[in-house]
Structure 1
Amino acid sequence: MHSSKKQFLVLEIAKINLRHNALLSIAVAVLLCLVTPFLIGTANLDRNSAAMPLEMFVSLIGIVLLTPVFQPEQNEEIDDLVSSKYCSTAKVHLIRTVYSVGIAALLICVFTVYMKMQSCDVAPILAFGTIADALFLGSMGMLTSALTGNTVIGYMPPLLYYALNIGMGPKLGSFYLFSMITGSYTAKLWLFVAGMLMMAAALFYQRIRKRMV
């Protein structure tokens, strides 16, 4: 009984946050996926070429979905309201993070299936690699937002790092975002692990910061 109540509470928090805080981010992420085929070819591509729209465009949805996780509480009135509720702010942040990651993964998988239907040589590894990029970029924005207390500033480091990858290319080694274009997949594991660590650090810092206030 207690377990079912907790599950219901989690679902209610997720539903409320999706309705009031996440719709714009989700809409922008979906729009980015929809315009990608008009910006770059997504049909009849070999494995390396198929990685290009995924790594260079679709992965950006991670920034869109994860960076604003802490945004509502950066408004003091909302922060006070959330803090006064029966569910901790840390749990709310965790729920937002989980559904944001889930939505990003879902959109990436759907886009990969779309490319498969367009006669592209895509495989699950391309979807995983794109998810790794999205998590890395998004968690970088999320961590910056936590450290600065400002979501707008949070968007800057991942976008700058994205631009750095375009300029430096494979010189970035294990943290090169576009490695699948060259046929290399090892970097994706490093990016995935780094993304998870930054995500955990952001959630932990936000929790500690809240206790210190």
Structure 2
Amino acid sequence: MELYIAVGKANLKHNFLPHLLIALCFSLLAPVLMGMKGLDSVQVAQTLEMYVQLVGVILLVPIFIPDQDRNIRDLARSKYMPAFKVHLIRLMESLLVLLAVLGAFIIVLYFNNPVFSPIQYYLGVLGGAVFLGALGIMAYSLSDNMAIAYMVPMVYYVCNYSGDKYLQKFYLFSMIKGSFDEKIVLGVAGIALISAGILYRQRRR
């Protein structure tokens, strides 16, 4: 257990902390860019889906960033802990922070706009955020390129502005239309992509 804690602390200190700070600053800009008071349920959904969902990219994609350094990769291979366990620890930290950031955002939104179901909207934005982050994780696993890992989910996000005609159940902005079924699909697909990305990463090693 001490080894797991040590890995988590090292990740937080040397890799994850900057991304955590960026996510917090990104969230704090919401009142300026999107507004936080006097919103109806559709406007709340717009704030969550067109802005807050992107936190998933900021927090989940960086789990592979330390692997960019060959010295860190070689050091990791020399230790007793398998690399996939290291990735899982980084992932758990990222997911816990993502849950906390989205939860805090939902609480603030609901306090100022008690016109929506906080649990339903929380799970909805979580599904979208996890899916976007998972796209980046899978993209890096396949390409070994961090720029591509960030580009793929952002391109997918932009494609959603054309509507749900082609994306169907994988449409990111479904809550705006009052539909939450898509969020279940996105969440499940996100978990599958994260699992596949980490497993494929190990096979490449």
Tell me which residue corresponds to 1:43. 37
The secondary structure found in structure 2 opposite 1:155 is helix
Identity %: 36
Which runs of structure 1 show a deviation greater than 4 angstroms over 4 or more consecutive aligned residues?
A: none
Counterpart pick for 1:163 among 132, 151, 158: 158
1:147 matches 2:116: no
- Rounded to whole Å, the distance in 2 between the matches of 1:48 and 1:180 is 8
Tell me which amino acid in the other structure corresponds to 2:91.
T
Tell me which residue corresponds to 2:112. 118
Counterpart pick for 1:52 among 27, 46, 49: 46
User: Which whole-Å deviations, capped at 9, do the CAs of 1:23-44 have from their partners, x for residues lacking one?
Assistant: 1111111111000111112212
Tell me which residue corresponds to 1:106. 100
Q: Is the CA contact (8 Å cut-off) linking 1:45 and 1:120 kept in structure 2?
A: no
Tell me which amino acid in the other structure corresponds to 1:105.
L
Tell me which amino acid in the other structure corresponds to 1:113.
I
- Rounded to whole Å, the distance in 1 between the matches of 2:2 and 2:102 is 28
Structure 1 gap ranges (5+):
1-6
Q: Deviation of residue 170 (structure 1)? A: 5.4
Q: Is the CA contact (8 Å cut-off) linking 2:23 and 2:59 kept in structure 1?
A: yes
- Rounded to whole Å, the distance in 2 between the matches of 1:170 and 1:108 is 28
Q: Deviation of residue 10 (structure 1)? A: 1.6
Tell me which amino acid in the other structure corresponds to 1:182.
K
1:137 matches 2:132: yes
- Rounded to whole Å, the distance in 2 between the matches of 1:11 and 1:115 is 34
Q: Deviation of residue 89 (structure 1)? A: 1.2
TM-score, L = length of structure 1: 0.92
1:21 matches 2:15: yes
Tell me which residue corresponds to 1:4. none
TM-score, L = length of structure 2: 0.95
Q: Is the CA contact (8 Å cut-off) linking 1:42 and 1:120 kept in structure 2?
A: no
- Rounded to whole Å, the distance in 1 between the matches of 2:184 and 2:164 is 18
Q: Deviation of residue 9 (structure 1)? A: 2.1
Q: Deviation of residue 16 (structure 1)? A: 1.2
Q: Deviation of residue 171 (structure 1)? A: 4.5
